[in-house]
Amino acid sequence: MLKGNQVLIVTPFDNNYEVDESSLVNLVDHLVEQDVAGIIVLGTTGEFFSLQDHEKKRIIDITSERTKDRTALIVGVAHSGSSISADMARYAGEKGASAVLLPPPYYHVPTPEGMIDHFTIVGQRGNVDLMVYDGGGGIEVPIHVIEKVRAATSKLRYIKLTAPKVTKVREYHETFGSEVSVFAGEDLLIMPELLEGADGLTTAAGNLRPKELTEIFNLVQNEKFSEAQMIHDAHIAPQAIVTGSIRNEFIQCFKTSLKMMGIIKTDTVRPPLHRLSESRIQNLSLMLQNQKLI
């Protein structure tokens, strides 16, 4: 079973908007060297919405090779088409992914029945463990949906929780026991969700603070709550406030920070995302300097 600090990584692009494979390798290697429990590619942070299928498969190829026998790999397979998600899930499983991250279908708001069908189809056809994204795209997944899917496929083993209901961690555990692991998925709710019993983290914050997040998780497991909160307040909260203050700019914030830290070469994002304003870049730079990351 997966647990611990799983980092949602960016997808680096070069100045021509092509996938920057060397920066991707450098980012993955950097995080593996920081002893993260796993890496998540092709999530929202990874700009899955602007990548073509052949690019997604190439990213899976590269990251599966770099993480092999070193750390876990989770692959985002978000799509509004269930069979399309299932095909990508099957490819990820064949390449050694430990699980796939699957939100509800986006664009249209799915009914509970639609969610059940979507998750079940991917679970049955993808042949790889599922991490359902509760709160992905702002859509909460009712617990009874998870119950129905679990009855249809044993592949649903994980939940990434970003719906703003921290007590839902406990509700999942009360319903499913150890059969389903719940991961804290919102940077600013890491501590309360861990205190509720989350089995790990799935956040973008680990791009910048992988060691600290792993330490926070380990301290909470050892019931050293005050020490964990001190690290969170000193290092995670400041960056989360800056990177998350404008919701549709958080991807750019992480890319710009990683560029300043010398881990990726450019801060390029694909349209419709846009480059940060100079004031936001200065804001990030000052935060990174104060945090001694640059």
List residues forming the annotated binding site. 45
pLDDT attached to residue 246: 87
pLDDT digits (tens, 9 = 90+) for 113-164: 999 999 999 999 999 999 999 998 889 999 999 999 999 999 999 999 998 8
Count CB atoms within 10 A of the CB of residue 247. 6
Peptide bond into 272 cis (omega under 30): yes
List residues forming the annotated binding site for pyruvate. 45
pLDDT digits (tens, 9 = 90+) for 247-275: 899 999 999 999 999 999 999 999 999 99
pLDDT attached to residue 272: 95
* pLDDT over threshold 90, residue 216: yes
Distance of CA 112 to the CA centre of its chain: 23
pLDDT digits (tens, 9 = 90+) for 77-117: 999 999 999 999 999 999 999 999 999 998 788 899 999 99
Q: In angstroms, rounded to a whole number, what is the distance separating the alpha carbons of residues 190 and 26?
A: 26
What pTM value is reported for the model? 0.96
CATH fold group of domain 4-211 = TIM Barrel (3.20.20)
- CA angle 235/252/194 to nearest 5° reads 40
Rounded to a whole number, what is the distance in angstroms from the first to the last CA of the chain?
Answer: 35
Count CB atoms within 10 A of the CB of residue 270. 15
pLDDT attached to residue 163: 87
Annotated catalytic residues are 133, 160
Contact 87, 48 (CB under 8 A): no
Contact 4, 217 (CB under 8 A): yes
**Amino acid type, 154:** S
pLDDT digits (tens, 9 = 90+) for 183-213: 999 988 999 999 999 999 999 999 999 999 9
pLDDT attached to residue 87: 97
Contact 257, 243 (CB under 8 A): yes
pLDDT attached to residue 65: 97
Read off the pLDDT band of 171 (50, 70, 90).
Answer: very high
251: buried, middle or exposed (CB in 10 Å: 19+, 13-18, 0-12)? Answer: buried
